[in-house]
Amino acid sequence: MCIYIDVDVEIFYMYVQRFNLPTFLFLHLCIIFFFLIRIEIQLSQKMVLLLVLIFSQIIGISQGQLKVGSYAETCPDAESIVGAVVREAAVSNSNIAPVLLRLHFHDCFVQGCDGSILIDNGPNAERHAFGHQGVGGFEVIEKAKSQLEATCPGVVSCADIVALAARDAISLTNGPAYQVPTGRRDGLVSDTSMADNMPDVSDSIQQLRAKFLQKGLSDKDLVLLSAAHTIGTTACFFMTPRLYNFAPERSSDPSINPNFLPELKEKCPQNGDVNVRLPIDRGSGQTFDNQILRNIKDGFAVLQSDARLYEDEATKGVVDSYFNLLSPMFGPFFETDFVDSIVKMGQIDVKTGSDQGEIRRVCGAFN
């Protein structure tokens, strides 16, 4: 009896962690769980999961949290419309996947995932901030919004469109398919000064960790969201400091694999065109996979911020965990963990409920 209970308690806590339930809800579940044990009702694993799911649904409703399928009744074709627009965009722009993924990241890291980056009401709008240089994909979001307004006006937020478009973009590059919790509302503030603290490719690991922690993201999230660099390109502008002017020796970053250095210098010669672009993920720049982590491990990281992940024991441990001999069979599994992290990121400081934000008619302007 005691052994059986111990196993159930462990299973119970595992599911609580898996569903990221709040502490107070966990305590309520504990009370009920141990009450049932007290009256000698033995809970099976399925019963434990059912209990956790029921209470997570209750708390989700009471707190107005995001929910998968929130448009099922109000705009049932919402997600398919966004997906179709993203696929159409990919026909004319093969680089649209990393563009939309980056847009989602930049939106969430400034004032939360509220579509504030989409506003274009003048030079002081957030999208024109220095930290958002090179961010694009706005026309894709606006096109999806236009079609959604024609189908179900005033229902689907621009913030949700950004999150859904990022998901659909990942699937275009053989990345994992996953469900996106929706129900975000659009923010009412957009200002360049809000984007002053974006993570930067030149940040130290301590700076990156602090910026992610400020958003409720862990070291594991930092590694996995950085792994989104598995698709896309970067400009030589961001590489040349690592190649020719790396402090304090003012030479090359010693963390770069010596066999990789000549290749980088050939693509980005000193005093050359800083706008030349190169894949961030050497050898796998068009496919969403964990090759970027292998490259980081082997000294083939293109971005300085990615290379720093292997110079810190905590983040290095996360990278290494995906290359253990048994990880292909028993985990951790890169795609599953990435989905957990991007869904978690998509819930940063979201605005929900009729008392927060709005549903914009046009994504680039407040109502």
Give yes or no: residues 213 and 339 share one domain.
yes
Of 63, 88, 103, at which residue does a domain stop?
63
Give yes or no: residues 130 and 184 share one domain.
yes
pLDDT digits (tens, 9 = 90+) for 182-228: 999 999 999 999 888 899 999 999 999 999 999 999 999 999 999 99
Q: Specify if 356 maps to a domain.
A: no
Which tokens go with 337?
A: 């963990």
Give yes or no: residues 16 and 143 share one domain.
no
Give yes or no: residues 25 and 95 share one domain.
no
Give yes or no: residues 301 and 331 share one domain.
yes
pTM equals 0.82
The chain-wide mean pLDDT, for the chain, equals 87
Of 149, 172, 195, at which residue does a domain stop?
195
Give yes or no: residues 294 and 168 share one domain.
no
**Residue pointed to by tokens 């960790």:** 209
For residue 32, the enclosing domain spans 2-63
Domain count for the chain, please give it: 3
SS3 109: coil
- Nearest Cα to Cα of residue 144 among 99, 79, 98, 90: 79
* Known binding residues for heme b: 229
Q: Specify if 367 maps to a domain.
A: no
Q: Specify if 25 maps to a domain.
A: yes
The CATH number given to whatever domain includes residue 101 is: 1.10.520.10
SS3 238: helix
pLDDT at 331: 78
Residue pair 28/55 in contact by the 8 Å Cβ criterion = yes
Residue pair 233/242 in contact by the 8 Å Cβ criterion = no
pLDDT at 247: 79
Of 63, 91, 112, at which residue does a domain stop?
63
The CATH number given to whatever domain includes residue 271 is: 1.10.420.10
Give yes or no: residues 272 and 237 share one domain.
yes
Taking CA atoms, 292 is separated from 39, 63, 81, 267, in Å, by 52, 38, 31, 19
Which band of pLDDT confidence, cut at 50, 70 and 90, is reported for residue 87? very high
Give yes or no: residues 231 and 329 share one domain.
yes
Which band of pLDDT confidence, cut at 50, 70 and 90, is reported for residue 50? low
Which tokens go with 131?
A: 């930290």
pLDDT digits (tens, 9 = 90+) for 132-172: 989 999 999 999 999 999 999 999 999 999 999 999 999 99
Would you name the residues annotated as active-site residues? 106
Residue ranges of alpha helices (H) inside the chain are: 2-18, 23-38, 45-63, 78-92, 96-108, 138-151, 158-172, 205-214, 219-226, 240-244, 261-267, 291-297, 304-308, 313-321, 327-330, 334-345
Q: Specify if 249 maps to a domain.
A: yes
Give yes or no: residues 160 and 209 share one domain.
no
Give yes or no: residues 89 and 172 share one domain.
yes
Which tokens go with 359?
A: 């549903």
Give yes or no: residues 215 and 174 share one domain.
no
pLDDT digits (tens, 9 = 90+) for 295-347: 999 999 999 999 999 999 999 999 999 998 888 888 799 999 999 999 999 99
Give yes or no: residues 211 and 316 share one domain.
yes
Q: Specify if 144 maps to a domain.
A: yes
Q: Specify if 73 maps to a domain.
A: no
Which band of pLDDT confidence, cut at 50, 70 and 90, is reported for residue 287? very high
CA distance 279 to 269: 16
- Nearest Cα to Cα of residue 266 among 276, 253, 255: 276
Query: How many Cα atoms are found within 13 Å in the side-chain-facing hemisphere of 96?
Result: 24
Q: Specify if 70 maps to a domain.
A: no
By DSSP bridging, strand 277-279 and strand 67-68 are unpaired
Q: Specify if 354 maps to a domain.
A: no
- Residue 13, class by beta-carbon neighbours within 10 Å (0-12 exposed, 13-18 middle, 19+ buried)? middle
